[in-house]
Amino acid sequence: MPGKLKVKIVAGRHLPVMDRASDLTDAFVEVKFGNTTFKTDVYPKSLNPQWNSEWFKFEVDDEELQDEPLQITVLDHDTYSANDAIGKVYIDIDPLLYSEAATVISGWFPIYDTIHGIRGEINVVVKVDLFNDLNRFRQSSCGVKFFCTTSIPKCYRAVVIHGFVEELVVNEDPEYQWIDRIRTPRASNEARQRLISLMSGELQRKIGLKVLEMRGNAVVGYLQCFDLEGESGLVVRAIGTACTLDKLSNTSAFLPACNSPSKEMKEIPFNEDPNPNTYSSGPSTPLKNQTYSFSPSKSYSRQSSSSDTDLSLTPKTGMGSGSAGKEGGPFKTLLRQQTQSALEQREFPFFTLTTFPPGFLVHVGGVVSARSVKLLDRIHNPAFVGIMGNTRSYKLLDWNSFNSDEPETRDAWWAEIRQEIKSHAKALGCHAVVGYSESTSICEEVCILSASGTAAVLNPRFLQDGTMEGCLEQRLSWQPGFFSIGSEKGEVDFFPQSQDSSSLLGIEEASPPGCGFCHIPYDELNMPFPAHLTYCYNCRKQKVPDVLFTTIDLPVEAIVVGKGCLIQARLCRLKKKAQAEANATSISNLLPFMEYEVHTQLMNKLKLRGMNALFGLRIQITVGENMLMGLASATGVYLAALPTPGGIQIAGKTPNDGTYEQHISHMQKKINDTIAKNKELYEINPPELPEEIIGSPIPEPRQRSRLLRSQSESSDEVTELDLSHGKKDAFVLEIDDTDAMEDVHSLLTDVPPPSGFYSCNTEIMPGINNWTPEIQMFTAVRVSRLSNINPTNQTLNKNFNDLCENLLKSLYFKLRSMVPCCLCHVNFTVALPEDELVQIAVTAVAITYDKNQALQANKAPTEKSQQRASTDNEEQLQFPLELCSDPLSSQPFSPAKEVLEGASSHTGIPAAQRATSVDYSSFADRCNSWIELIKLKAQTIRRGSIKTTTSLEKASPLAEGYLRHRSVPSGTNSTVSVVKMTPLSFLPGAKITKYLGIINMFFIRETTSLREEGGVSGFLHAFIAEVFAMVRAHVAALGGNAVVSYIMKQCVFMENPNKNQAQCLINVSGDAVVFVRESELEVLPPQPAAAAQPTGAAGDVTT
Amino acid sequence: MSSDLDVFVGNTTLIDEEVYRLWLDGHSVAEAVARRLRGGLLEREATSVAVLQSDTRDHYRTFQMLERLLHAPPRLLQQLLFQIPPERQALLVQRYYAFDEALARELLGKKLSKGTKKELDEVSARTGVGIRSCRRQFDNFKRVFKAVEELRGPLAENIQQLFLLPPSLARDYAAIVFFANSRFETGKRRLQFLSFGDFAACAQSMMAHWSQGALAPEAAEPDGDLPKSFLQDLKELKVLVTDKDLLDQHKSLVCSALRGKISVYNELEANFKVIEPCRSDKWSPGDLRLFLQHYTAAPRNLPGFRHQALWERYMAAISACLLRMFHD
């Protein structure tokens, strides 16, 4: 008997009139938990009853506590007939089960009815007394904390990041049970809501158990989804990242411990190339610099000796140090080995996190994804495994080859896909996958399972127990977007950590400032695919790809030029209507082409904006009756470490035709103009300086990647053309048919947002960091009819494209009063509810920023990078120095220069390797070659990266101080009732002081009077508003004032206008938090702070 | 490609003041879009008509959902469905309950019944206020009237409390309720020149001086009703008119008091009780005030007049009203 749940029903208000005669209501309340029910007295003749009930006590075990929702039903008493239900409130009591979260749930909850919507409010108080030591009850996992946030939550530090946890629960869908024929829609809806609530509870408990087994105490990046499989059932599945978190009870108390001298940390930076001057600790005082002048070769052994803490790793490091010199190859291998061992015990080395503590990500290999088409009505018969993306093991499986006797569960389906993902990552030389997510798309009996993530090499020290006491803080995961100088906070966190790493591990590869994550993790001599490599534009030491795609957020420390922008690829493919296997086969045949097209579009659009990397890439493939839709969203940025993207060249196939030529050149001009305009718009002025200094380390030979996307008879001729200008490589678009023409046109139809607006789908908008506190989260839903009589892929594409563009346009217009602002975390979801109907749902947050503070913003790393390039301002000088020549002279170690020179000489990559020209000339094997091409392209294209240490460090103490300052409550918490919602993990200008628990809610709304409720729009508008209201009410009752990492995971809308009916299911989740507003502390002069902290002790200034 | 369903829902409810005004004025979505277009929004924001339509529909839907709450403004404050900052809530209520004075003038003193509502078409034509807006305003009057009809205490304060209106607007509603309740015939031709503002001011002075609340704040009767006892008592005052003796004495007292002080003394005698002669004789407001002062004070010296207190209470309101009405 480990727990006692206590519930008190206080009062109701604004109840609906249930008795027409008296215009009043005789309300009473049923309180149900598990199988126990209590009732209040009837409060007669009132729309605002005051029950003031006794405490209803439920004595239950904690397993039940975790699984069951508290169910409160408000009824109207009727003497002669059955009591009428007014509505219900479901309360998830999970937040009361862990000590640090809420202690009481108390407040006004909307009374919700699935047919009538919100009908008044009820005031409830809920408490839980837990009797026993929770750990003794292994069936329950009380005490394990859940976070939707995909980074280490702000007021915690990660002691260990254990890794992937997953679970799924299957049940029959009440909607499809026989009993549904005889019960009311309300009863059916409520049965479904309750079942899903139960299943979520159970799922969470089971995941919690797994976490406890791993010796963790929390799940971060928890994502729970429902698959409504119709007849075949209801699947609730969840994935997450198990962690051991430590609550920072008092930030300032914690700080002193970790903000030890910044100098130590400087040594630590793990650079792949041992040359210390690349990460010149320039910013710190000269004295500090001298303290560690070390020769490259020695540096490692030094570190290892200094690490008195065990670490099996240290000896190895010593060994590796010698050879690490030039290539970094052996070292890389070493690192991989170590990390691998840390990851080996894990079945799937996956992480659902998208933002990481600095130093966690060593290299990013690229996007890995896998999709599989399954038939739901034949659970025992696996359909097809099609792997898209970076796989080398692309395979088409014959339907009939499967052994239908072998039972397969959905568990196995996912395991299969995860296995694929794992092997793709391996092929990219990576041992882990970060930014991992899974999704499904279901249409009738066909289901596409998708998984994607970013292959990465991780730093092992975060993955093992006991290695990182006090070194990983919640603040490590810190978003620079937070406030104007937020980025510096990120750096701040760096200190303790690196220091730690130096003493404890010392094994990190050294990666030069701001570019380490871009460096290829695979062996360049034995590359898994032909890639287009150059030397890193930042450090000149390591190889980087030309373009990089990732599913993670932009690392805090990444050096970015200019601003980012939302980039979308949109695609429709018609498909014949078919049944069962035929249907699944045609879908699986289409998938590779879609994936290929999506990548081509992304690539083109990226180049059109003059950018070279994508973050937060999310590709959805949605299956409908007669078509497939692909929508890819990502945030494009210009990474300083990667080469400047070449332009887009158009090549015609019939060069002799004069007018055609003219047309081509006209198009070419338009494209060039667009690129130029975009560069201006997004302020992309990459620094030219470093090149000159180093002496053009860029390989001479032109590099070119050509893509022939048409049925060309021969492309030999074209290959001869020198399409590249200067040292930039060109991306060739060959247009020889209307298809391609359309594509080029569609490229140019993407309208940039109106002035004052920026948009991205990541947490951080590169280049903007002076956020003001005003935010507006919204959900927009559109359903459009594709009304073509004879639709073709082209017309569908255009329709779909217009639909998305118009929706964006509409958002910009709606939010025009917030200008200047940025739409962050723009999340599109596409569904095909019926033939010819396309549903798009967008959730995002608009955040205002202060244009005038832009000057101040130069402290942010993103800005810094720009400044580095063009340094004229004294204040900024420190940074540029590090990058350029100054470090060389100022640094005491002599090898520096030599190494640099060496580096430049090394740049001569064999031309053969560099030139990537993929031509598939024969029409006959077009198909095959495309598939091949996809592999190649996908692999080449996407790489993510992470930068570790940098010159930015110096600013960090300041930021730290800043941070602490902010923790002082301003006391200006105005209105209690206001609850902010945001899909981001932070609130601009505010500090999250407490996480109250996860919000995971599922609602069904149905109507049989659609017209009377204002048609489909009126119905859905009201429902979404109701969902928001219920989320806010629950958060407020927990004592919170915001929901972060809010996400609408599902919005399933069905209508039957002929019957005047509609039904909608919505599933949302997020983290309930308490935040404290930052107020006048906003302006803290950066320079004094930096100067005042020669020791780099961040805490000193502010405490 | 047509959009069947198109919604935008913000966590903080977006309120566009311009669209709200168009909605309050009773324009349809199409009309509202046309008006917004005429306002040059399209060019300013470089957007499309479709976007404007979608936006307008969103706002209209929001307002329709809000309307239910606007009928009981305190609920707007307590409700959980729409998160609206307080100042926006105030704006919504204020604009919703604001009315056209021309319309209010037309309806003043009329019974707020279904019959009257049916006549709104004519009223709309006369006043130039859209019929939908007329109906909404009429419903507002009626709703406020119903809500405070039975309540004790100062009318304006009750209204302010129940409908969260700014004081001046609450006072105006109090006047409307007062007239609707007491059915003063304000439609007479002789009163045509008086505006709503004049009547509102009169209503206020009458309530201030005559209502029970004015005498005893804890009074049992609502302020909108003039206490029966008071009306009964007024009969006693008739002696001032009916008793020839008293009338003459009263006159002479006033006249002697005013001799030399009023420029238009000659016509004074004829002017008792009527305002039009004063206007035609070009009295100045100062003259009138002086006259009323003495007229009020004079009976004190009349032998056998026992109702001075009542008289003064009566005259206080009458004087205020006369003074207000006495304008060009």
Interface test with A, best of B4, B11, B14, B20 (most A CBs within 10 A): B11
The three-state DSSP-derived secondary structure of B311-323 is HHHHHHHHHHHHH
Give the predicted TM-score (pTM) of the model: 0.76
Taking a contact as any Cβ pair under 8 Å apart, which residues of chain B between 47 and 106 contact chain A? 47-48, 50-52, 54-55, 57-58, 61-62, 64-65, 75, 78-83, 85-86
Q: What are the backbone angles phi and psi of residue A314, rounded to the nearest 5°?
A: -55, -45
Which among B4, B51, B64 has CB closest to A785? B4
CB pairs under 8 A, 24+ apart, for A294-301? Answer: A294/A267, A294/A893, A295/A893, A295/A894, A295/A895, A296/A325, A296/A893, A296/A895, A296/A899, A297/A321, A297/A322, A297/A325, A299/A267, A299/A274, A299/A510, A300/A274, A300/A324, A300/A506
The alpha-carbon gap from A570 to the nearest alpha carbon of chain B, in Å, equals 16
Give residue B243's pLDDT band: very low, low, confident or very high (50, 70, 90): low
| Residue keyed to tokens 């506590």 | A65
Measure CB to CB from residue A778 to each of B3, B8, B48 and give the nearest one. B8
Winning range, highest mean pLDDT, from A453-467, A490-504, A609-623: A609-623
Q: Specify the pLDDT at position A185.
A: 86
Q: What is the pLDDT of residues A522-572, one digit of tens each?
A: 776 666 666 678 888 877 778 888 888 999 998 888 888 888 999 999 998
A1029 contacts B8? CB cut-off 8 A = no
Contacts of A782 in chain B (CB under 8 A): 3, 5-7
CA A307 to chain centre: 35
- The Cα B219–Cα B155 span in angstroms is 12
Residue B163's nearest CA partner among B112, B98, B242 is B98
By Cβ distance, the residue of B1, B57, B79 closest to A1017 is B57
Interstrand relation of A70-76 and A105-113 (parallel, antiparallel or unpaired): unpaired
Give the per-residue pLDDT at B119: 84
Task: Show residues of chain B in contact with A1033, CB under 8 Å.
Answer: 80
Map residue A261 onto helix, strand or coil: coil
Amino acid A971: pLDDT:
33
Chain centroid offset of residue A322 CA? 38
pLDDT value at position A1030?
95
Nearest-CB residue to B2 (from A787, A1014, A1022): A787
Which residues of chain B neighbour A1025 with C-beta distances below 8 Å?
9, 13, 65, 81-82
Do A813 and B79 make contact, defined as CB atoms within 8 angstroms? Answer: no
Q: Which residue has the higher pLDDT, A726 or A154?
A: A154
Tokens found for residue A1080? 């006048």
Q: Which residue has better confidence, B48 or B238?
A: B48
Spell out a b/e string for A664-694, using b for 16 or more CB atoms within 10 Å of the CB, else e: beebbeebeebbeebbebbebebbebbeeeb
β-pairing verdict for A771-785 and A837-849: antiparallel
How near does any CA of chain B get to the CA of A1020, in Å?
7
Give the range with max mean pLDDT: A42-56, A155-169, A535-549, B296-310: A42-56
Residue B124 sits at φ, ψ, to 5 deg, of -60, -45
Distance CA A742, CA A735 (A): 9
Model pLDDT for residues B16-38, shown as the tens digit of each residue: 999 999 999 999 999 999 999 98
Query: pLDDT tens across B139-150, in order?
Result: 999 999 888 888
Q: What is the pLDDT of residue A26?
A: 92
Q: Quote the CA–CA distance of A534 and A699 in Å, as a whole number.
A: 7
> What is the mean predicted confidence (pLDDT) over A947-961?
31
**Ranges A196-210, B206-220, B269-283: which has the least confidence:** B269-283
Distance from CA of B71 to the nearest CA of A (A): 13
Helix or strand run (H / E) with residue B324:
helix B308-325
A334-390: pLDDT as tens digits: 555 555 555 555 678 899 999 888 778 888 888 999 999 988 864 433 333 333 333
A630 or A481: whose pLDDT is higher?
A630
**A813 closest CB neighbour out of B51, B80, B86:** B51
Give the model's pLDDT for residue A288. 30
| Structural element, H or E, at residue A368 | strand A361-375
CB pairs under 8 A between A and B: 122
- Mind listing the pLDDT tens digit for each residue in A167-204? 988 888 877 776 667 788 888 899 899 999 989 988 99
Query: Residues B67-72: what's their mean pLDDT?
Result: 92
- What is the pLDDT at residue B261? 52
Contact criterion met (CB below 8 Å) for A11 and A48: yes
Q: Is the pLDDT of residue B90 over 60?
A: yes
**Mean pLDDT of the B93-122 span:** 85
DSSP class of residue A383 equals -
Mean pLDDT of A387-399: 31
pLDDT tens digits along A309-342: 332 332 333 333 333 333 344 444 555 555 555 5
- Contact between chains at A1014 and B61 (C-beta distance less than 8 A): yes
AA identity, residue A1035? V
A786 with B1: Cβ contact below 8 A: yes
What is the pLDDT, as a whole number, of residue B227? 59
Confidence (pLDDT) at A704? 33
**Which of B2, B61, B80 comes nearest A1029 by C-beta?**
B80
Least confident span in A284-288, A626-630, A1017-1021, A1092-1096: A284-288
Q: What is the structure's pLDDT at A769?
A: 78
pLDDT tens digits, residue range A630-680? 999 999 999 888 888 877 777 766 656 667 777 778 888 888 888 888 888
Q: How near does any CA of chain B get to the CA of A224, in Å? A: 23
Which residues of chain B neighbour A13 with C-beta distances below 8 Å? 78
Q: Give the distance, in angstroms, between the CA of residue B14 and the centroid of all CA atoms in the same chain.
A: 31
The predicted model gives A901-910 an average pLDDT of 36
Strands (E), A45-175: 56-60, 70-76, 84-91, 105-113, 117-130, 145-146, 156-171
Tell me what pLDDT residue B252 has: 67
Q: Are A434 and A459 in contact (CB under 8 A)?
A: no
B4: closest CA of chain A, how far (Å): 6
From first CA to last CA, the distance across chain B in angstroms is: 62
Residue B237 is predicted with a pLDDT of 60
Q: How far apart are CA A434 and CA A553, in angstroms?
A: 10
User: Which range has the worst mean pLDDT, A140-149, A249-258, A705-714, B280-289?
Assistant: A705-714
At residue A908, does pLDDT exceed 90?
no
Q: How far B173 CA sits from the closest chain A CA (Å)? A: 25
Mean pLDDT of A1018-1027: 95
A1033–B8: do the CB atoms touch at under 8 Å?
Answer: no
Please indicate if any CB of chain A lies within 8 Å of the CB of B12: yes
Q: Do A14 and B6 touch (CB under 8 A)?
A: no
Query: Is residue A1033 scored above 70 in pLDDT?
Result: yes
Share of chain A above pLDDT 70, in %: 61
DSSP labels, B170-183: HHHHHHHHHHHHHT
Q: Specify burial of residue A619 (Cβ count, 10 A radius: 0-12, 13-18, 19+).
A: buried
Could you tell me the two tokens for A279? 């990460």
> Which DSSP category does B12 fall into?
B
Closest among A56, A60, A86 to A73, alpha carbons compared:
A86
pLDDT value at B138 more than 80: yes
- C-alpha–C-alpha distance, residues A1091 and B206, integer Å: 74
Distances from the Cα of B73 to the Cα of A561, B11, B25, B160, angstroms: 51, 20, 20, 10
Query: Is the CB of B5 inside 8 Å of chain A's CB atoms?
Result: yes
pLDDT at A68 over 50: yes
DSSP designation for A6: E
Contact A531, A374 (CB under 8 A): no
CB burial readout A512-531, b (16+ within 10 A) else e: bbbbbbbbbbbebeebbbbb
- Return the pLDDT at A133: 54
* Structure token pair of residue A494: 């760096």
Average pLDDT, chain A: 69
Question: Among A97, A75, A74, which Cα is nearest to A2's?
Answer: A97
Q: Residues A494-513: what's their mean pLDDT?
A: 39
**Residues A831-878 pLDDT 10s:** 998 878 899 999 999 999 887 654 443 443 433 333 333 333 333 323
Whether the pLDDT of residue A1043 is over 90: the answer is yes
CA dist A26 → A48, A646, A791 (Å)? 10, 74, 58
Contacts of A328 (CB under 8 A, 6+ apart): A272, A273, A509, A519, A541, A542
Average pLDDT over residues A113-124: 94
Residues B187, B193, B198, B202: what is their CA dihedral angle, to the nearest 10 degrees? Answer: -50
Per DSSP (E only), the strands in A954-1019 are 980-981, 990-1007
> Which of residues 140 through 199 in chain B touch A, CB cutoff 8 A?
none
User: Helix B196-210 vs helix B167-182: angle between axes, to the nearest 10 degrees?
Assistant: 80
Q: Rounded to the nearest 10 degrees, what angle do helices B196-210 and B308-325 cross at?
A: 170
Q: Cβ A1025–B14 below 8 Å, yes or no? A: no
Q: Cβ separation of A979 and B83 shorter than 8 Å?
A: yes
CA gap B7, B57 in Å, rounded:
9
CA distance A589 to chain B (A): 28
For residue B56, the chain A residue with the least C-alpha distance is A814
Contacts of B8 in chain A (CB under 8 A): 778-780, 810-811, 814
- The residue among A1016 and A686 whose pLDDT is bigger is A1016
Q: How many residues appear in chain A?
A: 1103
The reported pLDDT for the residue numbered A117 is 93
Per residue, the 3-state secondary structure of A892-913, as one string, reads: CCCHHHHHHHHHHHHCCCCHHH
